[in-house]
């Protein structure tokens, strides 16, 4: 039992657990203290000082986010002293900040702008410091753009990169007036260890960190009569897009999303969930092949555990941090890249369209996908497989640009050929989803029966955010060709956030890992918490999206990837057998790229 502490905030008597901060105590009582460097996902920094409050009998104004409550404390969150300090602090930040708000992507979504409004800033009290700063913009990465003139040095990105991802691609450098947030040796972000996960973007309160926008390029393609524009949408976009239009987090807007895409002028609207199913088949078969090679053929060159590669930031991180362990990575492309390759081969052939004229667009919850589609490995079709990647937010911008009243759209459904998906494809949006889908598939292949979970829902895998979830599956009653797996217990695990990936990979590297199959997602909660999703990001929203994915799955009759008729079709008609020939050429990468650790 924690000790109860009694205190007074703005004349309200409050009792909270020991260890609670003043900020948390105030929030519990409905008192809103403005914050800036504070973020629910991150550790306390206490550096912006916006949340200062007045404490009776204390000379200084403590930062409420960083100060634990104490017995008998009397706090005033709205005294003249506090208001004056806060106003000055906001004005100071503005004097260093490029406040060209109308030309900023964060216009109306910027936390500094909101603070300026709340604190009634109507003039520039202080001298403009921007000219002294030699601010630059780093636009070289296909995924992330850093506009240093908008950075307020709250270090949320620094904490995100360190705590959530264990990478520290961004850190504070220099001191005093020259203090800035930057990369290793101030190199462009595309040349350092950055995984491009973009969580820094999702946690940045201003427009300093943004995704690299490709909206104009996509409009150009749509408006070019010579081009045939195919679009795919990732599983987790449909449970988040509605937030951009005022809908509750977790609202499923699949039909409206498809309708909006048609209205925007895309020629064909297909579903990434379809290629998620395809990934399951390929990856499930790859796992079984590796198990056989290891257990039966005793082939030491085959690496176990096999680790999924759907999350592009994870792949890049692994190439940097564990470049000697790349043999553990599944060679399967991500669903997006499988789709990209197929859109300019299978799709082009079926509809007799010149692949040179096809522009393949992907709507993703992800920023790292903008790096992935630019990888040289992703050109199996002979063209750039996926031309442009847009985030959920960029799609929302386009819908607003086009003047579409999203909420009144009539539901539409995906086109066929690559538009049907099983529930297994949809749950890719959640951390653990790939694992669940793969187990359903593999169990059926090996045992010839459904994996024994009610409704095929492998609930032990529905772990919570930031957790390494483990599970063991024992194969009994195997088919003759898989008899080597009879009685074998396969250990699997899944984790989200690269800080957890590090823990798992460290064990693998040391040879102490007990797993056979591991799924890793870079972002908190998986793709539903991707950096391209509507902002601000927080656990409540991510949880609502996660629930929506599982609810959505329940509405889909087909639950296993191999039961998807379009999947059966594509193998019969085009690909042949999993892992072989065409499937191998189009759906797998030839290898990975070892990268430096700095």
Partner 1 sequence: MNDGIKINRIDSIFKDYVDNKFDYLKKIMTMSNEEIIKNLTESGLKGRGGAGFPTGSKWKFAAEQSSDEKFVVCNADEGEPGTFKDKEILLKVPHKVLTGMTACSKVTGAKKGYIYLRWEYKFMKNDLQKSVDEFNEELEKMKIDFKIYIVLGAGAYVCGEESALFDSMEGMRGEPRNKPPFPTESGFMGKPTVINNVETFATSTMILSFGGVNYAKLGTDVSHGSKLFSISGDTAIPGIYELELGMTLHDFVEKFGDGDTKAVSVGGVSGALVPRKKFKDTIIGWEGVPTGGAMILFNSTRSIYRILHNYLEFFEEESCGQCTPCRIGCQQLKKGIEAVKKGEEDPSYLDTLASLSKVMNVSAKCGLGQSVMNPVLSAVNNFREELIY
Catalytic residues: 283, 286, 310, 330, 369, 372, 377, 527
Q: Are 482 and 445 in contact (CB under 8 A)?
A: yes
Cα distance between residue 460 and residue 462, in whole Å: 6
- Check binding of 11 to partner 1 (CB under 8 A): no
Q: Are 248 and 404 in contact (CB under 8 A)?
A: no
Beta carbon nearer to partner 1, 44 or 404: 44
- Check binding of 172 to partner 1 (CB under 8 A): yes
- Check binding of 518 to partner 1 (CB under 8 A): no
- Check binding of 1 to partner 1 (CB under 8 A): no
Beta carbon nearer to partner 1, 94 or 276: 94
Nearest-approach distance from CB 130 to partner 1, in angstroms: 11
Nearest-approach distance from CB 84 to partner 1, in angstroms: 7
Cα distance between residue 17 and residue 51, in whole Å: 20
Q: Are 62 and 9 in contact (CB under 8 A)?
A: no
Beta carbon nearer to partner 1, 95 or 323: 95
Out of 13, 122, 175, 597, name the contact with partner 1 by CB under 8 A.
175
Prior bond of 536 cis (ω within 30°):
yes
Beta carbon nearer to partner 1, 83 or 262: 83
Buried b (16+ CB within 10 A) or exposed e, 435-460: bbbbbbbbbbbbbeeebeeeebbbee
Nearest-approach distance from CB 571 to partner 1, in angstroms: 54
Coil, strand or helix: which one is 332?
strand
Sketch the per residue contact string, 85 through 124, with partner 1: x for CB under 8 A, - otherwise. x--xx--xx-xx----------------------------
Three-state helix/strand/coil letters over 100-149: CHHHCCCCCCCHHHHHHHHCCCCCCCCCCCHHHCCCCEECCCCCEEEEHH
Nearest-approach distance from CB 205 to partner 1, in angstroms: 13
Nearest-approach distance from CB 170 to partner 1, in angstroms: 13
Beta carbon nearer to partner 1, 96 or 465: 96
Give the tokens for residue 401. Answer: 């640009």
Sketch the per residue contact string, 134 through 153, with partner 1: x for CB under 8 A, - otherwise. ------------------xx
Beta carbon nearer to partner 1, 1 or 127: 127
Q: Give strand pairing partners of 470.
A: 493
Q: Tell me whether strands 137-138 and 4-9 are parallel, antiparallel or unpaired.
A: unpaired
Nearest-approach distance from CB 524 to partner 1, in angstroms: 24
Buried b (16+ CB within 10 A) or exposed e, 111-136: bbbebbeebebeeeeeeeeeeeeebe
Number of residues this chain uses to bind partner 1 (CB under 8 A): 40
Determine the interface stretch with partner 1 among 8-16, 65-73, 184-192, 402-410 (rule: CB under 8 A): 65-73
Cα distance between residue 575 and residue 585, in whole Å: 10
**What backbone phi and psi angles, to 5 degrees, belong to 450?**
-70, 145
Out of 32, 81, 124, 577, name the contact with partner 1 by CB under 8 A.
81
Half-sphere exposure of 365 (CA within 13 A, CB side): 32
Residues that bind partner 1 (CB under 8 A): 44-50, 52, 59-61, 63, 66-68, 81, 84-85, 88-89, 92-93, 95-96, 125-127, 129, 132, 152-153, 155, 171-172, 174-179
């Amino acid at each position: 039992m924690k000790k109860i502490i009694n205190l007074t905030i703005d004349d309200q008597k409050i009792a909270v657990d020991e260890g609670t901060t003043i900020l948390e105590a105030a929030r519990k009582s409905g008192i809103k203290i403005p914050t800036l460097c504070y973020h629910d996902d991150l550790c306390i920094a206490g550096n912006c000082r916006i949340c200062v409050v007045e404490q009776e009998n204390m000379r200084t104004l403590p930062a409420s986010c960083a100060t634990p409550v104490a017995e008998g404390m009397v706090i005033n969150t709205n005294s003249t002293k506090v208001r004056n300090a806060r106003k000055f602090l906001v004005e100071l930040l503005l004097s260093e900040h490029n406040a060209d708000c109308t030309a900023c992507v964060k216009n109306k979504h910027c936390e500094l702008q909101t603070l300026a409004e709340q604190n009634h800033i109507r003039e520039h009290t202080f001298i403009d410091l921007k000219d002294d700063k030699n601010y630059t913009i780093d636009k070289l990465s296909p995924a992330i753009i850093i506009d240093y003139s908008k950075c307020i040095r709250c270090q949320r990105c620094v904490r995100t990169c360190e705590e959530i991802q264990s990478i520290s691609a961004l850190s504070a450098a220099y001191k005093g007036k020259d203090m800035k947030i930057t990369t290793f040796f101030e190199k462009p972000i595309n040349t350092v260890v950055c995984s491009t996960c973009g969580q820094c973007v999702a946690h940045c309160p201003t427009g300093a960190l943004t995704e690299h926008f490709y909206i104009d390029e996509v409009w150009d393609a749509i408006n070019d009569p010579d081009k045939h524009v195919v679009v795919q949408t990732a599983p987790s976009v449909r449970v988040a897009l509605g937030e951009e239009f005022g809908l509750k987090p977790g609202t499923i807007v699949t039909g409206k999303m498809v309708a909006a895409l048609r209205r925007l002028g895309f020629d064909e609207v297909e579903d990434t969930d379809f290629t998620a199913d395809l990934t399951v088949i390929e990856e499930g078969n790859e796992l079984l092949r590796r198990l056989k090679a290891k257990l039966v053929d005793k082939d030491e060159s085959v690496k176990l555990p096999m680790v999924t590669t759907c999350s592009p930031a994870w792949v890049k991180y692994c190439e940097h941090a564990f470049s000697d362990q790349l043999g553990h990575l599944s060679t399967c492309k991500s669903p997006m890249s499988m789709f990209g390759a197929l859109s300019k081969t299978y799709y082009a052939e079926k509809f007799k369209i010149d692949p040179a004229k096809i522009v393949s667009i992907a709507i993703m919850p992800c920023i790292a996908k903008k790096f992935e589609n630019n990888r040289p490995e992703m050109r199996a079709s002979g063209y750039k497989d996926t031309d442009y990647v847009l985030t959920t937010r960029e799609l929302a911008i386009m819908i607003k640009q086009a003047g579409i009243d999203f909420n009144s759209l009539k539901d539409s459904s995906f086109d066929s050929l690559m538009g049907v998906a099983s529930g297994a494809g949809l749950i890719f949006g959640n951390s653990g989803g790939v694992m669940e889908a793969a187990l359903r598939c593999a169990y059926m292949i090996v045992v010839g029966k459904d994996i024994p979970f009610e409704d095929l829902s492998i609930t032990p895998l529905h772990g919570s955010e930031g957790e390494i979830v483990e599970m063991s599956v024992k194969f009994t009653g195997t088919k003759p060709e898989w008899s080597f797996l009879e009685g074998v217990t396969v250990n699997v695990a899944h984790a989200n956030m690269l800080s957890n990936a590090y823990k798992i990979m460290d064990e693998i590297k040391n040879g102490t890992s007990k797993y056979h199959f591991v799924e890793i997602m870079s972002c908190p909660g998986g793709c539903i918490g991707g950096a391209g999703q509507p902002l601000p990001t927080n656990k409540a929203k991510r949880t609502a999206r996660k629930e929506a994915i599982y609810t959505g799955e329940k509405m889909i009759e087909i639950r296993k990837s191999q039961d998807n008729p379009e999947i059966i079709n594509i193998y019969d008609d085009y690909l042949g057998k999993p892992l072989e020939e065409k499937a191998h050429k189009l759906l797998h990468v030839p290898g990975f790229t070892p990268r430096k650790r700095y």
